[in-house]
């Protein structure tokens, strides 16, 4: 990829998104589309390999195995931790899923925030995957040990409470901090997009009851007692009532909830403001502008917002863009772009 913008055009199902997803995986070790590696490997194959030349002297590789486990390599050398792959290929993705960031379920906003925290602190991935696992074990525990002696079940739940309280504290703290850094950036973009008409506020609404500042010990103990207190309700409803899996991010435009009261246009602009804030924060952090992945999303934006996105991204970021058709594309986006038909791309995709 030599030009500022690479525009990949082709019909659905030809592998455009796969290519962008592969870049995203190498850059962030995550896919916005799937949470399990199983779904990233071709169905009849035992493993998948992504290899890319990130720059003059760096070749990155990530191998996914169906049995589980990943192996990362840098210039052919195996890395003991896949986290060490993060760095040379920073990227920020923007896909059709993100268009629901404002209107959609809280889970979408948590995922967005988590992607940002991941870029700030790669180790965060360990925390979230640990937390997910704890939640899964916990729900199985209720199902299987429902008829077991309560004493044994309760001692097991105690063991989970202790771990969940600690991991939850660390997740809450990181999400809150990241949101604090994002807020001024997003507010500035929102103001720019609305020509000064709209003032944005982001608020962190944690799924645990947290008081005071980020002191680890008080938060941990508070969450532990909340977990204990909700057990009978948890048994009745079949899901844990406390923790970061119930976090919400409040979006206020001029003091009103944007999710319910914002117009369609305001919501679209807000999505853009949130993504631009993410892009800016990640740039600031890694010292160089990250690669922007626009997966099937540009043609979904109206001409005015396309233009604004282009102005904001400018010549600073390299963009990888996928689309099924060029209609609806502002011509400015096509200028200076290398345009590739997806069919021809597949044959040369493995050299990246």
Partner 1 sequence: MGQCQTCFHFSADPLCEICRDQKRNQGLLCVVADSRDLLALERTREYRGFYHVLGGLISPMDGIGPEVLQISSLVQRVDHDDISEVILALTPSVEGDTTSLYLARLLKPFTKVTRIAYGLPVGSELEYADEVTLTRALEGRRAME
Which region, judged by CB under 8 A, interacts with partner 1, from 19-27, 85-93, 157-165, 264-272? 157-165
Q: Which is nearer to partner 1, 3 or 216 (CB)?
A: 216
Starting at the edge strand that comes first in sequence, how are the strands of the sheet with 5-9 ordered?
91-95, 291-295, 319-323, 5-9, 337-341
Q: Which is nearer to partner 1, 174 or 275 (CB)?
A: 174
At 166, is the secondary structure helix, strand, or coil?
helix
Over 127-150, what HEC string results?
Answer: HHHHHHHHHHHHHHHHHHCCCCCH
Chain residues 237-296 in contact with partner 1, contact rule CB under 8 A:
none
The rounded distance, in Å, linking the Cα atoms of 256 and 30 is: 33
The rounded distance, in Å, linking the Cα atoms of 235 and 139 is: 9
Q: Which is nearer to partner 1, 225 or 338 (CB)?
A: 225
Please identify which residue in 163, 201, 254, 283 interacts with partner 1, judged by CB under 8 A.
163
| Cα radius of gyration (the chain) | 22
Which region, judged by CB under 8 A, interacts with partner 1, from 41-49, 149-157, 199-207, 318-326? 149-157
Asked if 310 touches partner 1 (CB under 8 A), the answer is no
Asked if 152 touches partner 1 (CB under 8 A), the answer is yes
| Residue 307 CB partners (closer than 8 Å, separation 6+) | 330, 332
How many residues sit in the footprint of partner 1 (CB under 8 A)? 22
Q: Which is it for the CA torsion 17, 19, 20, 23, positive or negative?
A: positive
At 94, is the secondary structure helix, strand, or coil?
strand
Question: Is the Cβ–Cβ distance between 116 and 182 less than 8 Å?
Answer: yes
Which region, judged by CB under 8 A, interacts with partner 1, from 148-156, 169-177, 186-194, 343-351? 148-156
Asked if 325 touches partner 1 (CB under 8 A), the answer is no
Please identify which residue in 81, 146, 209, 316 interacts with partner 1, judged by CB under 8 A.
81
Site string for partner 1, 47-76 (x = CB under 8 A): ------------------------------
Asked if 235 touches partner 1 (CB under 8 A), the answer is no
Q: Which long-range contacts (CB under 8 A, 24 or more apart) does 52-57 make?
A: 52/22, 52/23, 52/26, 52/89, 52/352, 53/351, 53/352, 54/26, 54/88, 54/89, 55/88
Question: Is the Cβ–Cβ distance between 172 and 245 less than 8 Å?
Answer: no
Chain residues 108-147 in contact with partner 1, contact rule CB under 8 A:
126, 130, 133-134, 136-138, 140-141, 144-145
Asked if 148 touches partner 1 (CB under 8 A), the answer is yes
Which region, judged by CB under 8 A, interacts with partner 1, from 154-162, 235-243, 272-280, 296-304? 154-162
As measured in angstroms, the least distance from the Cβ of 65 to partner 1 is: 16
Helices H / strands E in the chain, number of each? 11, 12
The rounded distance, in Å, linking the Cα atoms of 28 and 34 is: 13
Which region, judged by CB under 8 A, interacts with partner 1, from 150-158, 176-184, 294-302, 304-312? 150-158
Binding site for partner 1 (CB under 8 A): 80-81, 126, 130, 133-134, 136-138, 140-141, 144-145, 148, 152, 155-156, 158-160, 162-163
């Amino acid at each position: 990829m030599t030009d500022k913008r690479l525009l990949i055009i082709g019909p659905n199902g030809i592998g455009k998104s796969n290519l962008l997803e592969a870049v995203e995986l190498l850059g962030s070790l995550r896919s916005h589309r799937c949470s399990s590696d199983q779904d990233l490997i071709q169905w009849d194959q035992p493993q998948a390999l992504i290899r890319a030349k990130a720059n003059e002297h760096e070749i990155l590789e990530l191998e996914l195995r169906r049995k589980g486990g990943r192996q990362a390599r840098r210039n052919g050398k195996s890395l003991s931790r896949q986290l060490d792959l993060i760095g040379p290929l920073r990227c920020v993705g923007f896909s059709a899923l993100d268009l629901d960031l404002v209107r959609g379920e809280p889970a979408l906003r948590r995922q967005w925030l988590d992607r940002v925290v991941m870029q700030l602190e790669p180790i965060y991935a360990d925390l979230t995957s640990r937390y997910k696992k704890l939640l899964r074990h916990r729900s199985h525990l209720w199902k299987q040990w429902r008829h077991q002696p309560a004493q044994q079940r309760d001692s097991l739940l105690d063991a989970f409470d202790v771990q969940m309280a600690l991991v939850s504290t660390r997740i809450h703290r990181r999400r809150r901090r990241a949101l604090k850094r994002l807020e001024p950036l997003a507010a500035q973009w929102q103001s720019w997009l609305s020509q000064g008409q709209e003032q944005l506020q982001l608020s962190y609404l944690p799924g645990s009851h947290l008081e005071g500042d980020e002191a680890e010990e008080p938060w941990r103990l508070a969450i532990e007692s909340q977990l204990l207190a909700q057990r009978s309700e948890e048994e009745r409803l079949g899901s844990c009532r406390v923790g970061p899996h119930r976090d919400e991010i409040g979006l206020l435009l001029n003091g009103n909830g944007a999710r319910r009261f914002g117009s369609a246009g305001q919501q679209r602009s807000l999505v853009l403001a949130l993504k631009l804030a993410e892009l800016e924060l990640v740039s600031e952090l890694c010292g160089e502008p990250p690669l922007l992945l626009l997966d099937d999303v540009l043609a979904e934006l109206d001409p005015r917002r396309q233009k604004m996105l282009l102005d904001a991204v400018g010549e600073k970021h390299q963009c990888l863009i996928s689309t099924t058709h060029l209609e609806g594309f502002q011509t400015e986006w096509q200028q200076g772009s290398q345009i590739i038909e997806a069919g021809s791309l597949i044959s040369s995709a493995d050299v990246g």
